[in-house]
Chain A
Amino acid sequence: MDPMLAAFLSESRENLEAAGHCFLQLEKSPNDEGILNDLFRSIHTIKGASGLFEIMPLTRVVHAAEDLLDTIRSGELELSAELVDLFLDCMDKINIWLDNLEESAVLPEGAETISQKMTEILRGYLGEQENTEKSQSSDTLEVTANTAIETAPEWIKHIPDDLRRESYLEHEDADKQLMSIAYKPEEGCFFSGDDPIYTVLMLPGLVWFELEENEPWPKAEHIDPFHCNVTFNILLVASEEEIRYQLRYVDEQIDLRVLAFDELIFPAGGNGDSELFSMLNDDAKNTLEHYDWTKLAALIKPVLTMNSHELIQCSALLWIQALLKQKNPSVQLITALLNTAITGEFVTPVDSFIHKNSADKGGNLSKSLEKNETCDGLIQLQLEILGLPCEPELLNGRIHSVNTVLMRLFEQKGWETQLSELKTVTEQSLEEDSPAQLCRFLSRHTSTNRKPETKQKSLTANVEKSRVPDDEIAKGYPARTKAKVLKVDQARIDSLMDLVGELVVAKNALPFLAKRAEEEFSVRPLAKEIKAQYSVINRLSEELQSAMMQVRMVSISSVFQRFPRLVRDLSRKLNKQIELVVEGEDTEADKNIVEDLPDPLIHIVRNSLDHGLETVEERIAAGKNPTGKIILRATQLDDQVQIDIIDDGKGINVEVIKQKSYEKGVITEEQLETISDKEVLQLIFAPGLSTAEEVSDLSGRGVGMDVVKTVISKAGGSIDVSSESGQGTSIRLRMPLSMAISRVMMVEVCGQSYGVSMDVINETVRVKRDEIKKIKHDEVITLRDKVVPLIRMRSLLGLTESDCNGQEEEAVLVVTMGKELVGLVIDEFHEGIDIILKPLEGVMKTSKEYTGTALLGDGRVLLVLNLKELLK
């Protein structure tokens, strides 16, 4: 895989995990800025890095999430549980995508659609925010009517009528937004090889652009051709993401605004003879009243053919035509345009921006007015309006309009004193012909802690021009403290591990050599020296081995980390109150072991959540704390890790299990009577037993605990359950600390050596032939008053049956299988050794009778038996 992609994957996974953690913390303490900043940084990093690859859908989702987080960080939006759900969902999706990337280096099919959907949802929240702002600005329009639309730049008027109309018709394409960009390249950009115009021409969805000089052009002889002195004014219809992505290298040089498509609607052109158009007057207005759009279109058509399209009247009619092509044309806009056609003057209709679901937005506004933030926003907006450049004759009107907005706002809030102050200030401003007084008054009234708008433009010297200082921004991104962690590909560690293993094997050859030196060549001093050297190498290799083990040890927290999320999601889903307590996260175990843990653990925890813990009502009825508790505890024993999953739920109903097991044929009728409660509990690990009344999507599909048990025992662990009715259930997992080196006993059967794992060996005994009794066809021995069935390994392994090796005694290896003892008759015992178990490969891969192989010191290969499988 591309090393860069690999780095991105591992880094992004970490970041996602960190982000997930942050979200859960935020739910507890939503106002913690530190956590929010951490979270933002994680998401930001993913976004940044993802830009390096061709994975636009992913980048887009992360970007949307980042934007949304940003509004949350700035306090404009509150992080609700619903939002957290949404974020977590997105992160899950991204995680899946990362997996896909790892597998095939590309995103799966359909990622694009999913991405769009998610981005839409995320942006939906942002949109709400923006829409409120927009409806505010249209409120101001009500009184500042006839001045330019605030959010669109002035130069939008430079765009030819027909181009605007063309772009307007594209607005039905939901993926695309109308954007204005003012792109001011750096003065020295030519020296760094930039060709700004090329950048502009390459923009997707480019509708129109113009160049504006920043400084007036000097006289020809003073021109410096390599000094960039232009700003590009650009109009686009495209997806914002895409554009931002395209312009990511000049991010600081652009002022991108997403505009409402309605802002494109204004007729332009010279005023013509209005008599020609007055004929439209009555007829057309009549059609408006009846919403008879077909008739209106029919009326317009002949007028248009008769006139030059350069007239503003015609432009208005052409706009009407364009609007009529829409599904729900805005009546206000059409009326306004029709008026233009008749009078030659255009008045922006009051609520053109909110004509779509205006009722809803209005409700939002009055609700949001109750919040001081919105109020501040409104005041800030007025400040901005006053700060905009303006013709002297329009100034009075502007002051009046600001006054009206503020008056209504103060009335709504019931601020009497401010109201009277406003009146005097407005009068002063009008007298002085300068908005300075009003500005000063307003800046006093925006709450001081409000984050000032960075793009705030103000021409009035008295208005405090407050920008977020750069170092404050930088605070959001504190320098990453470099953890002294070295990231190494696991394959390298594995190969190192193999080498250590081989060293151990090679080292084991030395004693053989010493033996030969002494016995075959009779050089005793040499043998002694070899032995001395051996002990040194032995010590070193043992140290190396344990150091190697340490490297492979990972903290179990990586497994536990995912549980807060799981518990949170499930408890919301199941409508239960659950508290998760995690203990002993620092416990370490071999990486392979830790990697085997998640699935079984998740299953167990799910079971506890789903079946174990009761709903709030049930808990209250049972006199328990309404909040259920699950404890996940890891502890380290000598060479094992013990993991307890304890819940204080209703416990396992022994009777139900017993009944179910009987019905499913897991136990016989006889057993039904005699079985002890403790044994019944073990039955939950039996295949094909599920006790859930109903199959839910969480658990209860009958492939539950038996799978868990298989996985655990495959990893060399054990699982145990205890439960008390009404008090809760506790499940205990015990896993080996490390799987890499295992201890086996060598046994000989038919001249062939086999390894048997020390874990299962109970004892080794030599039994006289006549002590072996027969029960029907089966041989047994009595060992300390216990009947132990015997199994002859020769027949079990399909080797020659001639077992009479002429000895009086049989070697019997007594092993524990489940809870039972079994005696294995073998030919000879040998010593126990430490081996590095290698899984079977190639054609042997499918044979379950062996757990693996190991290389011996003298070069032989030892087959390690899988007794559990053999004795089934």
Chain B
Amino acid sequence: MSIEYKKTVAIVDGECLIEDAETLLEWVLLNPKGKINLKQCGHMHTAVLQVILATRPSVSAWPEANSESAWLVSVLNS
């Protein structure tokens, strides 16, 4: 589990596995206004990405350019 769930923000740190998809979804349902911090995100499994695409939580911090998950910026902003 590489997502740390706080009251208002879910902080992704490291690789997101398929198991994270369900817990993230639950958290988003509980905290509809919660934000997500992707700064330290490593690889993100498609299922997790789907949850983000479908629920569109606002992103509090983006991965850095040239990081492993830099592509998230363009994918989530298009």
A223 with B25, Cβ < 8 A, contacts A158-B78, A198-B43, A210-B75 known: yes
Shortest Cβ distance from residue A506 to the other chain B in the assembled complex, whole angstroms: 67
Q: Does A771 contact B (CB under 8 A)?
A: no
A197 close to B54 (CB less than 8 A):
no
Q: Does B4 contact A (CB under 8 A)?
A: no
Q: Does A612 contact B (CB under 8 A)?
A: no
Q: Does A221 contact B (CB under 8 A)?
A: yes
Cβ contact of A217, chosen from B29, B47, B54, cutoff 8 A: B54
CB interface residues, B 1-59, toward A, < 8 Å: 18, 21-22, 24-25, 28-29, 32, 43-51, 53-55
A227 to B21, CA, bound (A): 11
A217 to B32, CA, bound (A): 16
A468 to B37, CA, bound (A): 49
A226 with B21, Cβ < 8 A, contacts A209-B75, A220-B55 known: yes
A228 to B49, CA, bound (A): 10
A225 close to B22 (CB less than 8 A):
yes
Q: Which residue of B lies closest to A190 (CB)?
A: B47
Q: List, in ascending order, chain A residues with CB within 8 A of B74's CB.
A: 208, 210
CB interface residues, A 208-265, toward B, < 8 Å: 208-211, 213, 217-218, 220-221, 223, 225-226, 228-230
Q: List, in ascending order, chain A residues with CB within 8 A of B53's CB.
A: 211, 213, 217, 230
A220 with B46, Cβ < 8 A, contacts A195-B18, A225-B51, A230-B53 known: no
Chain B interface bracket (under 10, 10 to 19, 20 to 34, 35 or more): 20 to 34
B47 close to A226 (CB less than 8 A):
yes
Q: Which residue of B lies closest to A223 (CB)?
A: B54
Cβ contact of B28, chosen from A190, A220, A229, A230, cutoff 8 A: A220
Cβ contact of B21, chosen from A185, A213, A218, A225, cutoff 8 A: A225
A220 close to B21 (CB less than 8 A):
no
Q: List, in ascending order, chain A residues with CB within 8 A of B78's CB.
A: 158, 210
Q: Does A201 contact B (CB under 8 A)?
A: yes
Q: List, in ascending order, chain B residues with CB within 8 A of A158's CB.
A: 78
A223 close to B51 (CB less than 8 A):
yes
Cβ contact of B54, chosen from A190, A194, A220, cutoff 8 A: A220
CB 8 Å contact bits of A728-743 with B (1 = contact, 0 = none): 0000000000000000
A190 with B46, Cβ < 8 A, contacts A217-B53, A220-B54 known: yes
Shortest Cβ distance from residue B37 to the other chain A in the assembled complex, whole angstroms: 19
A197 with B28, Cβ < 8 A, contacts A217-B53, A223-B51, A226-B21 known: no
A230 to B48, CA, bound (A): 12
Q: List, in ascending order, chain B residues with CB within 8 A of A217's CB.
A: 53-55
Q: Does A852 contact B (CB under 8 A)?
A: no
Cβ contact of A225, chosen from B47, B71, B75, cutoff 8 A: B47
A197 close to B46 (CB less than 8 A):
yes
Shortest Cβ distance from residue B67 to the other chain A in the assembled complex, whole angstroms: 13
B45 close to A228 (CB less than 8 A):
no
Q: Which residue of B lies closest to A232 (CB)?
A: B46
Q: List, in ascending order, chain A residues with CB within 8 A of B48's CB.
A: 225
A195 close to B29 (CB less than 8 A):
no
Looking at chain B's contact residues, the main secondary structure is helix
Q: Does A651 contact B (CB under 8 A)?
A: no
Cβ contact of A230, chosen from B21, B45, B50, B55, cutoff 8 A: B50
A225 with B28, Cβ < 8 A, contacts A190-B18, A209-B75 known: no
Q: Does A196 contact B (CB under 8 A)?
A: yes
Q: List, in ascending order, chain A residues with CB within 8 A of B50's CB.
A: 223, 225, 228-230
**B44, B49, B54 interface centre (most CB from chain A within 10 Å):** B54
Cβ contact of B71, chosen from A185, A201, A223, A228, cutoff 8 A: A201
Q: List, in ascending order, chain A residues with CB within 8 A of B49's CB.
A: 197, 211, 230
B46 close to A218 (CB less than 8 A):
no
B54 close to A218 (CB less than 8 A):
yes
Q: List, in ascending order, chain A residues with CB within 8 A of B55's CB.
A: 217, 220, 223
A198 to B45, CA, bound (A): 7
Q: Which residue of B lies closest to A227 (CB)?
A: B50
Q: List, in ascending order, chain B residues with CB within 8 A of A220's CB.
A: 25, 28-29, 32, 54-55
CB interface residues, A 72-92, toward B, < 8 Å: none
Q: Which residue of B lies closest to A198 (CB)?
A: B43
A228 close to B46 (CB less than 8 A):
yes
CB interface residues, A 152-184, toward B, < 8 Å: 158
**A196, A208, A223, A230 interface centre (most CB from chain B within 10 Å):** A223
Cβ contact of B25, chosen from A190, A211, A225, cutoff 8 A: A225
A633 to B28, CA, bound (A): 83
Q: List, in ascending order, chain A residues with CB within 8 A of B32's CB.
A: 220
A211 to B74, CA, bound (A): 10
Shortest Cβ distance from residue A156 to the other chain B in the assembled complex, whole angstroms: 13
Contacts from B to A (Cβ < 8 Å)? 18, 21-22, 24-25, 28-29, 32, 43-51, 53-55, 71, 74-75, 78
Please list the 6 inter-chain residue pairs (A to B) with the smallest Cβ-Cβ separation, ordered nearest first. Answer: A225-B21, A217-B54, A197-B46, A196-B46, A220-B55, A225-B25
Known A194-B46, A195-B45, A198-B43; 17 more pairs at CB < 8 Å: A185-B46, A190-B18, A190-B47, A198-B46, A201-B71, A210-B75, A217-B55, A220-B25, A223-B25, A223-B54, A225-B22, A225-B25, A225-B51, A226-B22, A228-B50, A230-B49, A230-B50
Complex A-B: 9 CB contacts under 8 Å: A195-B18, A198-B46, A201-B43, A210-B74, A220-B32, A223-B50, A223-B51, A223-B55, A230-B50
